[in-house]
Amino acid sequence: MKAKLIAATLVTGMFCTPLAAAELTVLTAGDQNMVDYVNEYLGPLFEKENPGTKVRVVGTGPGDAGSQKILERFEAQSKAGVAKWDADVAVVHEKFVGPMVEQEFLEAYRSKIPSGSLVTRENAKMALGTNVDGYVMPMFNSQTALAYNPALVPNPPKSYDEIVEFAKKNPKQFGYNGIKGGASGVSFVMGWIYAYGGDAQKLMNGPFDESETKKWDKAFASLKEFSRNATLTPGNAGTLDMLSRGEIAIGPVWVDMFYSWKANGQLPPEMKLVLPTPGMPGQPMHYVIPAKTANADLAQKFVALATSPKVQAEGIVKRFNWYPGIDAQHVQANLDKETWQKLFTDISPEELAKNGKPFPIAPYNKAILEAYERQVSN
Amino acid sequence: MPIQLIGFLLVAPALAVVLLLFIVPLVSSVTGAFDVGGSYGLGNFTKALELYSGDILFTLVIVLLSSGLIGLFSIMIGGYLTLGTNARAVAILRWIYRWPLFIPFIVVGQILRTFLAKNGLMNNIFIELGLMTPAAAMSFLDWRGIVVAFVWKQTPFVTLLLAGAMASIDQSTIEAARNLGAGRVRILIEVVLPQVRQTLLVGLILSFVTMMSVLSVPLMINAQSPTMITANMAFRINAHGDYGVANALGLISLLMTSVAAMVYLRQTMREHSR
């Protein structure tokens, strides 16, 4: 009798808890700042607007590794046939939404939320060659560029050719973090191949053609030669560290990291950015909702709030110096001129539009990374 | 119930834990190394060698060099602890040398990353003292940084084993050598060291295996090329989701450590047979 009572209580408990206090689980890839963003800003805001809910955020780690973990988690739950998955919203890198959509892990929710119509940028429809239209909302757009110390480099190189020239004249003054220490180095390498490795348009838009990968040998040989004159730094932060200590004069960085470091004094205020031609890649981080979430409505509400013009202005642009995820004009109206201008101090919106490129489509991306390992680093 | 069955039941839980948590994952990663897109083959190994042959060699050289230096320093420290005549110096050394034992590898990597940088603390001190000009400063954040981290972290471990062994050898052999007029260095090399050779070897082999598995230090100090196998394994999984080549690399480093393990096993067998 007693056992039955306990069992009954447990069963009732299981059914009641989600109703009493809905808990929204948000998985996020990326650095600690992504977790902080939800914990300190977005979560409390959402809880205030939806009394009785609780936002729980789980950080899965920086870089591609973090997104890879989320993908593997979805795969595991899908294979195990779990009816309700343990995540309601996830924030992942562009590279991983393609596989998620292809394996039908995600819900097509964009048309169901009000801010869905505020995104028209191409990278919300295609993610490295996969059609993801409807499945993603960009949280923000990020861009890589060259950060430099004007005291050491009065006339910064404005193209890849000039970078090569600069490195020849100033050995070890150009620093980048290879391809294993974070994506700013990866981005520099991709830009190199766009500049010297044949048809950049084909790399960005596809379709994948094996023969295209054979055209890169010369570009990698020159990159190997170039790397001898360059300094290899330990990671995205490593490049900024060495720049601030004066050990290198110029190097590729993430624009948002650059501004954040400058804002909290980790980088001298004189440092500047330049985006060389023919361009360097950037990427969005996307909000996705698993098809098997237990709280679909709440999850949609959460993403709707996160991509509303107000939150994009206050949280994404003002707090973190990211370029907004939804179209700029909707965000600009919510910000004072000064804050908005800060985003474009060194790189004008026109330059950004011209030289801000997407990463190559996934198969080329992979092929370039492997070719780099084969021909430059081994 | 027959006694064998009871015996088996008693070890069963432990056996199950070893089987589930150690043998099964090990076997699955070994078979994973030969799994090329569903069929079995050596594709992962050819790729691993094609992309990372330089790094495999680099790893071996770094770890062997570090082991050599660790051996040298632990003999020096252990020797002074055993043969030192200044009681106060010995006491201070005994107190201080164990500190790095309690510091995790990742923290060592983090400390050295700022300490060894071109304009890092070490070079700044040298420049302040006038020992070096700012132009002559160079960064040690490459293979040298890894060696420094490994030696700094693992020397106390080997010294701890070695000093214990040195303390327990027959003191009369040292006294005899001293009476015959041998210097301290000669006593260390010709009398003490031969008696603790096996302990030294065991300590170095255990260090070798530990260093082979460290990911944090190469990641913090030089994640660029050439780097250690562990950093490449992490990269294969994180950037490509490619467990095949990562498993192959794992198996290659397992082969390296198993050579060390064989030496270790033969050593302990010999000791037990005595």
Q: How far is CA A192 from CA A14, A185, B62, B195, in A?
A: 56, 11, 32, 60
Residue A192: the pLDDT is 95
Query: Could you give all domains of chain B from N- to C-terminal order, each with its CATH number?
Result: 43-273 (1.10.3720.10)
Residue A20: the pLDDT is 47
Reference A145, options A338, A354, A339; nearest CA is A354
Residues A59 and A38 in one domain: yes
Closest in B51, B224, B241 to A378, CB measured: B51
Contact A369 B240 (CB under 8 A): yes
Structural domain span for residue A207: 142-282+346-377
3 state SS for B105-128: HHHHHHHHHHHCCCCCHHHHHHHH
CB contact B54 to A (< 8 Å): yes
The ipTM (two decimal places) reads 0.71
At what angle are helices B243-273 and B229-240 packed, to 10 degrees?
A: 150
Q: Which residue type is seen at B189? A: I
- N residues, chain B: 274
For residue B131, pLDDT over 90 is answered with no
Chain B, 89 to 128: residues with Cβ < 8 Å from chain A are 113, 117-120
Which chain A residues contact residue B139 at CB under 8 A? 231, 247
Residues A16 and A154 in one domain: no
Size of interface A-B (CB pairs under 8 A): 75
Residues A363 and A218 in one domain: yes
Residue A90: the pLDDT is 95
Contact A232 B238 (CB under 8 A): no
The pTM assigned to this predicted structure is 0.78
Residue B149: the pLDDT is 93
Q: What is the largest CA-CA distance in chain B?
A: 81
User: Cβ contacts of residue A38 below 8 Å, gap of 6+?
Assistant: A26, A28, A55, A57
Residues A34 and A95 in one domain: yes
For residue B61, pLDDT over 90 is answered with yes
Residues A95 and A158 in one domain: no
CB contact A247 to B (< 8 Å): yes
Q: How far is A374 from chain B (nearest CA, A)?
A: 5
Which chain A residues contact residue B120 at CB under 8 A? 245
CB contact B51 to A (< 8 Å): yes
Residues A209 and A352 in one domain: yes
Reference A158, options A376, A372, A354; nearest CA is A354
Residue B37: the pLDDT is 78
Which chain A residues contact residue B221 at CB under 8 A? 234
Mean pLDDT throughout B59-75? 95
Residue A21: the pLDDT is 65
Residue B78: the pLDDT is 93
3 state SS for B117-179: CCCCHHHHHHHHCCCCCHHHCCCCCCHHHHHHHHHHHHHHHHHHHHHHHHHCCCHHHHHHHHH
Residue A213: the pLDDT is 87
Q: What is the distance between the alpha carbons of residues B155 and A213, in angstroms, rounded to a whole number?
A: 47
Residues A31 and A108 in one domain: yes
Structure tokens given for B74:
């632990």
Residue for token digits 């006038």? B130
CATH of the domain at A120: 3.40.190.10
CB contact B78 to A (< 8 Å): no
Closest in A65, A180, A378 to B224, CB measured: A180
Which chain A residues contact residue B134 at CB under 8 A? none
Structure tokens given for B53:
């042959």
Residues A354 and A230 in one domain: yes
Residue B153's Cα: distance from chain center in Å? 9
In a 3-state reduction of DSSP, which class is residue A89? strand
CB contact B227 to A (< 8 Å): yes
Supply φ then ψ for residue B38, to 5 degrees: 100, -30
DSSP-derived pairing of the beta strands A280-288 and A356-357: parallel
Residues A100 and A242 in one domain: no
**By CB neighbour count within 10 A (0-12 exposed, 13-18 middle, 19+ buried), where does B82 fall?**
buried
Which chain B residues contact residue A65 at CB under 8 A? 234, 237-239
Which chain B residues contact residue A68 at CB under 8 A? 237-238, 241
Does residue A94 or residue B222 have the better pLDDT? A94
Reference A173, options B166, B32, B118; nearest CA is B118
Q: What is the distance between the alpha carbons of residues B227 and B55, in angstroms, rounded to a whole number?
A: 6
Contact A234 B220 (CB under 8 A): yes
Mean pLDDT for each 10-residue chunk of chain A (378 residues)? 56 48 88 87 93 92 86 93 93 93 94 90 87 93 93 93 93 90 88 90 87 89 91 87 91 90 89 92 94 92 94 89 87 85 83 87 90 85
Residue A18: the pLDDT is 44
Residues A137 and A149 in one domain: no
Supply φ then ψ for residue A255, to 5 degrees: -60, -45
Residues A174 and A289 in one domain: no
Residues A242 and A318 in one domain: no
Total domain count, chain A: 2
Residue A5: the pLDDT is 55
Residue A6: the pLDDT is 59
Q: How far is B169 from chain A (nearest CA, A)?
A: 46
